[in-house]
Amino acid sequence: MGHTLGIDLGGTKVLAGVVDTKSGRVLSVAKKRTHAGHTADDIVARLVEAAKDAVQTGDLGKNGIDRIGVGVAGQIDRDKGVVVKAPNIAKLSDFPLASLIKKELGRPVRLFNDVEAGAAGEATFGSGRDQRDFIVIFVGTGIGGALYRGGKPYKGATGTAGEIGHTIVDYNGRLCGCGGFGHLEAYASRTAIVRSILNALHSGRKSILSEIAANANPDDPGGTAIRSGALASALATGDDLTTEMITTGARYLSAGLVSVINLYNPSLIILGGGLVDAVDLFFSVAAQQARLDALPLPRREVRIVKAALGDNAGIIGAATLADQAKQ
């Protein structure tokens, strides 16, 4: 029996891993960086390279992999294997990603939304395991969410339920990458926080991040200019600007969480993604403020926890979903 290859394609990286979907164990991983300057062809080439590296280092013998699941940070037509829109990934639009990957790797390919995939990983092997009703929210280049009801994902009328990143926190607010205004993603994602830091530096504020910002890709002012690890390192030094912007972003996230708690009355919220994994202050401020501001009755029962699988949630979930799809 072969194994399943899971791929997580986001705005700043592509992560590929060979997964044992019976146990959730990741046998090998490979990563390639991406940024806004890459073309669609660049993205596919990096994805295929990461996939081949993961398979090669997995030492799988003659069986290799038998199928591939890909989680993509964007809107997906699952039946056609098409990326409908992914503004943070080379502005992909109506892009036949599944067929291109199949052509290069010679295995059946299924596409999923990246948060859908990450949530499936957490639901099967992580913080949502053995839980029936919960919400998963991932914060990174953007913000996405997924709902689970009765132990199964709730997708809504068009398969897009859980888009908390595109709830409105300021009706006349910032422009979001999707084209809307005042969306949570435009305030609480890593991209938004980094843009706020860069704007402050441009206005004369001082920060340990100034040198990194000076060498940032001018074509990508927020997406990959300063990564989550650099933010965590700056916080560790007591950098005032970083602390201020992380705290502000976390408070915006808490506003989104309050809306979810008051409206949906969940018993569990799982927070994950690169920013949550790397920056403890971001998680703690968002979770504590949400508990303070939510209505008394629904906040009494809700738990807000970190995702358990870290960076591997997306590849484990994509592989798991692809394996389930064959049945």
Give pLDDT tens digits for 35-84: 777 899 999 999 999 999 999 887 776 667 889 999 998 889 989 999 99
Question: Highest mean pLDDT range out of 64-78, 150-164, 284-298?
Answer: 284-298
The pLDDT of residue 109 is: 97
**pLDDT at residue 221 greater than cutoff 60:** no
pLDDT band at 220 (very low <50, low <70, confident <90, very high): low
Percentage of the chain exceeding pLDDT 90: 76
- Which residue, 153, 146, 82, 143, is CA-closest to 111? 82
Domain range 3-120+312-325, CATH architecture: 2-Layer Sandwich (3.30)
129-307 shares the fold of 3-120+312-325: yes
Question: pTM for this one?
Answer: 0.89
Could you report how far apart the first and last alpha carbons of the chain are, in Å? Answer: 15
pLDDT at 143: 93
Packing angle between helix 313-325 and helix 114-125, nearest 10 degrees? 90
Q: What is the pLDDT of residue 223?
A: 55
Count the alpha carbons within 13 Å of 170 in the hemisphere toward its beta carbon: 14
Tens digit of pLDDT for each residue in 101-151?
999 999 999 999 999 999 999 999 999 999 999 999 999 888 999 999 999
Cα dihedral 298, 300, 301, 303 in deg (nearest 10) = 100
**If one looks up domain 129-307 in CATH, what number appears?**
3.30.420.40
Q: Above 70 in pLDDT, residue 90?
A: yes
pLDDT of residue 301: 93
Domain assignments of the chain as residue spans, ordered by start: 3-120+312-325, 129-307
